[in-house]
């Protein structure tokens, strides 16, 4: 499409931005107007390759609107492409519309939700890694055997695709979000991995929400920073000059583009960098474009006080008069993906969809038997990752420089091509995992549970990338089984168990949780993590007590859509479950001492005591149970290994049968297991007549041995015994 046609499209898109936001009565028209030329040239200038009929095709390019508040621009682009009607465009921000205030995958051309600034480039890192792994990694290809399955296709092209053919990831960022540290985490890791299929675009319009940004229009400063982080910057001095913009995209799209002396000079016209020429293959690129906020409408251009404000009808009339005649019928064409014919693409999709369905059925590898010695759940997690990796090439692991503590290094040694060291940059790691998941991978990320608080915004935003299609959840009853010296009753999944219905699968593991880590002190003790993950609507929370359950639940996580959290313990704990024991979403296990009835002095129903625990405190509860039998006191211990979702009906029945309830957990009282139980009961009126005791971390912890700290916080076996005897 020539420049004149692109200019007409720019007018149409400005018209759409203005009219749709006025119809909505809110929105961000000025932030959208500043990037019109940039993204119109990208979409319709032949640089962006995307099949509108197959928006989830693996061969498509990907566009991430990191400045998500500029959603009117995004929707107007797809109107200009003929993908949506003008009638639908006018539903912007209306209840029930898929054109929401900030984009998410309810709009089918969007991969991930954006709107919390600073996230988009990290997601782009994950997508760029995913595309490289799918198309260029020979080990991955041999594992999925895809080449042999499609070699009879007419035109597949080479798997070892260069930059010109490898699908690209384009990320539009606002200049305000460049103040976010996470952006520079992403910049650094993209440079480290030389992600030459990742292209950033900075819309440098100078104005933030309330005033000038930190850098203003200092393009040279952005340029220096980008180069320092291993990127190749391309400066556009006028982001509304289509000739300059198109030239920038042409430079980006060249596999081995030589930069000229002029293109390396900075905005102020100063001296160029030392090298007159620079071949930038195998580097991520970034376009740094000077733009004007509110461009195209004089009373909006470069004016403060207009951020997030739609024009009223009178102002809109004036703006449209200034805009001039608009060709409302013109439409642009987005280029189809390169190197793949449609019939071949269909075959690729069928193969990859089949491969992305999860771990194949079959026997789980043996876990330690109960007679084996103690083992850390974090080590069992690492072993399970290797077993998962053997079965499923879509399993990938991201580490925050703690792999030797979380035991992810076991996976790293076995599958180095599917292990990504993200260093101590947890925010970037979390969003990179989202990017990988959006393209069909099953990422596992881990760090110490205490540090997961840093990534709550990333987790919160990830849940909005999961589209709710109101699919029902299938629930399976689970038979009763025996294991070792205890009776175990397996619980079925509750009717209200929630699962994310689409393909996203993000698995987060918090190691070294609770005060039981010991001498490292309170800064290293994850005591808020359960509360945090309980707020995630598409979330599942597992807290295994032994190596067997840790292995089983790790493998189960890879099959559960949504955001899954596994809490692991630093210390070695006894292995209490047999290798054949099964674990389920919404499940729990009941432990009773054999032949305890003959030793019980009082069997009155009102004297029955239920102790609910998980992880490290389950072992304390089981020790207390054994001691209490000697005193003639009956207790039933529940291993609540699945904290979310809970089986509300079963929990209520258990508490009805045991009027005295003690919850013991290595977590703060707010948002932990105790509150989860109380919420479950509150949702099932009427509430049982229950004597409820909550043992948890209520004091400020300190350094010490695990035993000292569990006792100090009154969550050890001695404290449980005291609580039981106090009830009686």
Catalytic residues: 426
Q: Tell me the C-alpha distance between 76 and 15, whole Å.
A: 9
Tell me the CA distances in angstroms from 616 to 274, 465, 505, 627, 705, one per residue in order.
Answer: 60, 33, 27, 18, 14
CA-angle at 687, arms to 683 and 691, nearest 5°: 125
C-alpha count within 13 angstroms, C-beta hemisphere, residue 22: 16
| Residue 280: both structure tokens together | 């930038």
Task: Quickly list H helices, 262-338.
Answer: 313-323
> CB–CB of 241/289 below 8 Å?
no
Three-state SS at 142: helix
Omega of the bond leading into 645 within 30 degrees of 0 (cis): yes
Angular region, 410: left φ>0, alpha ψ -120 to 50, beta rest: alpha
Q: Tell me the C-alpha distance between 341 and 354, whole Å.
A: 20
Query: What residues contact 682, with CB distance under 8 A and at least 6 apart?
Result: none
Q: Tell me the C-alpha distance between 12 and 427, whole Å.
A: 38
Side by side, the strands of the sheet bearing 691-695 are: 481-483, 486-488, 589-593, 635-639, 609-613, 660-664, 691-695
Where does 195-291 show beta strands of DSSP type E?
198-204, 232-236, 285-290
9 phi, psi to nearest 5 deg: -65, -40
Tell me the CA distances in angstroms from 564 to 443, 533, 553, 556, 642, one per residue in order.
Answer: 11, 9, 10, 10, 11
Q: Comparing C-alpha atoms, which of 409, 407, 402, 405 is closest to residue 424?
A: 402
121 phi, psi to nearest 5 deg: -65, -35
Q: Residue 46 CB: number of other CB atoms within 10 A?
A: 16
Residue 541 DSSP class: E
Q: Residue 665 CB: number of other CB atoms within 10 A?
A: 29
């Amino acid at each position: 499409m020539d420049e004149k046609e692109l200019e007409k499209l720019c007018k149409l898109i400005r018209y759409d931005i203005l009219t749709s936001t006025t119809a909505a009565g809110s929105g961000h028209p000025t932030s959208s107007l500043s990037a019109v030329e940039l993204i119109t040239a990208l979409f319709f200038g032949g640089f962006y390759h995307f099949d509108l009929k197959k928006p989830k095709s693996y061969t498509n390019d990907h566009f991430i609107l990191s400045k998500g508040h500029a959603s009117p621009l995004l929707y107007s682009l797809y109107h200009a492409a003929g993908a949506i009607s003008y009638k639908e465009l006018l539903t912007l921000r209306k209840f029930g519309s898929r054109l929401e205030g900030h984009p998410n995958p309810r709009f089918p051309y969007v991969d991930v939700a954006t709107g919390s600034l600073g996230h988009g480039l990290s997601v782009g890192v994950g997508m760029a890694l995913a595309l490289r792994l799918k198309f260029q990694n020979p080990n991955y290809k041999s594992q999925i055997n895809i080449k042999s399955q499609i070699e009879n296709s007419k035109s597949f092209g080479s798997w070892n695709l260069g930059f010109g053919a490898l699908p690209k990831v384009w990320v539009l960022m606002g200049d305000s979000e460049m103040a976010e540290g996470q952006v520079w985490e992403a910049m650094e890791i993209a440079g480290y991995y030389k992600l030459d299929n990742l292209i950033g675009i900075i819309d440098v319009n100078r104005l933030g929400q309330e005033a000038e940004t930190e850098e203003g229009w200092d393009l040279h400063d952005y340029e220096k920073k980008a180069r320092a982080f291993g990127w190749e910057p391309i400066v556009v001095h006028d982001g509304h000059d289509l000739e300059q913009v198109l030239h920038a995209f042409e430079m980006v799209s060249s596999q081995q583009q030589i930069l000229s002396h002029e293109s390396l000079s900075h905005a102020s016209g100063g001296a160029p960098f030392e090298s007159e020429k620079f071949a930038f293959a195998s580097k991520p690129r970034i376009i740094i474009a000077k733009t004007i906020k509110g461009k195209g409408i004089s009373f909006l251009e470069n004016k403060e006080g207009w951020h997030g404000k739609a024009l009223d009808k009178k102002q809109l009339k004036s703006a449209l008069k200034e805009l001039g005649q608009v060709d409302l019928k013109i439409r642009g064409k987005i280029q189809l993906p390169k190197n793949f014919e449609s019939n071949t693409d269909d075959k690729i999709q069928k193969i990859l969809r089949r491969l992305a369905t999860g771990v194949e059925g079959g026997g789980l590898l043996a876990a330690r038997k109960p007679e084996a010695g103690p083992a850390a759940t974090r080590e069992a997690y690492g072993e399970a990752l290797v077993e998962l990796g053997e079965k499923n090439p879509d399993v990938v692991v991201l580490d925050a420089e703690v792999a030797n503590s979380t035991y992810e290094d076991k996976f790293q040694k076995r599958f180095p091509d599917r292990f990504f060291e993200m260093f101590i940059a947890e925010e970037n790691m979390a969003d990179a995992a989202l990017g990988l998941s959006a393209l069909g991978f099953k990422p596992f990320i881990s760090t110490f549970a205490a540090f997961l608080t840093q990534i709550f915004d990333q987790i919160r935003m990830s849940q909005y990338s999961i589209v709710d299609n109101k699919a029902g959840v299938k629930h399976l009853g689970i038979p009763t089984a025996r294991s070792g010296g205890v009776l175990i009753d397996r619980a079925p999944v509750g009717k209200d168990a929630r699962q994310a219905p689409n393909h996203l699968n993000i698995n987060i593991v918090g190691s070294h949780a609770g005060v039981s880590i010991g001498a490292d002190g309170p800064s290293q003790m994850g005591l808020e993590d359960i509360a945090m993950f309980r707020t995630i609507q598409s979330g599942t929370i597992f807290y295994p007590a032994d190596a067997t359950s840790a292995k089983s639940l790790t493998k189960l996580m890879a099959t559960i859509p949504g955001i899954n959290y596994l809490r692991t313990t630093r210390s070695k704990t006894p292995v209490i479950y047999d290798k054949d024991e099964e674990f389920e979403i919404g499940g729990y296990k009941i432990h009773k001492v054999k032949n305890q009835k003959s030793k019980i002095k009082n069997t009155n129903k009102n004297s029955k005591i239920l102790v609910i625990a998980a992880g490290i405190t389950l072992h304390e509860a089981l020790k207390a149970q054994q001691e209490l039998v000697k005193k003639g006191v009956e207790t039933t211990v529940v291993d609540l290994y699945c904290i979310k979702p809970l089986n509300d009906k079963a929990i209520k029945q258990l508490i009805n049968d045991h009027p005295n309830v003690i919850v013991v957990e290595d977590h703060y009282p707010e948002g932990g297991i105790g509150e989860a139980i109380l919420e479950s009961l509150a949702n099932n009126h009427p509430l049982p007549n229950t004597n409820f005791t909550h043992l948890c971390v209520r004091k400020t912890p300190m350094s010490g041995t695990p035993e000292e700290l569990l006792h100090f916080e009154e969550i050890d076996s001695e404290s449980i015994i005291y609580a039981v005897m106090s009830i009686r």
